[in-house]
Structure 1
């Protein structure tokens, strides 16, 4: 379900203070990176991901593929950092960045 503009604005303000949880290197999305992204999204719901990829077009493709494979929404892309969100089935109030 796509995020509303108001919800995206709220998540962008929350994401401003977050540090990247996962770093994706130039070799792309391996199975272990996808597992780590899924774990982080289950725990925190809203995460920052740093991409160490120089080519802008390739970086955009990797971000789109990452969101598709993790069933997450892209909230914001700035440079080499992406902010993504996926609502947890059983949110943990102590770990969640949005609750």
Structure 2
């Protein structure tokens, strides 16, 4: 669990990121979750776009992904979500 100060710091890092994945009508399939898992390990913080035809609201998609991948939902605004998980191998982000 991250603190509100850490969440604020991560939101500032995620603000300038471009979404690297889109949750579409295929939903949250196993292969898609594996790609997100790999991206979180490599980058620690990622932004995902939730399309209207996915059947998910941004907060629902964030909660579903976080429960599957054991990551933190940093932010869900509009149709964008920002996720964070500390890397096991090489940590890049130092939380305050």
Fold match, TM over 0.5? yes
Structure 1 gap segments, 5+ residues each: none
TM-score normalised over the length of structure 2: 0.86
State the match for 1:65 in structure 2.
64
Deviations 1:37-84 (A, max 9, x none): 0010000001101111358x8323222111111110000001100001
Moved over 6 A (4+): none
State TM-score, norm by structure 1.
0.84
Q: How many residues end up aligned between the 2 structures?
A: 93
2:33 corresponding residue in structure 1: 34
Aligned-partner Cα distance in 2 for 1:82–1:89: 22
Task: Write the distance in 2 (CA, Å) between the matches of 1:27 and 1:8.
Answer: 29
Gaps of 5+ in 2: none
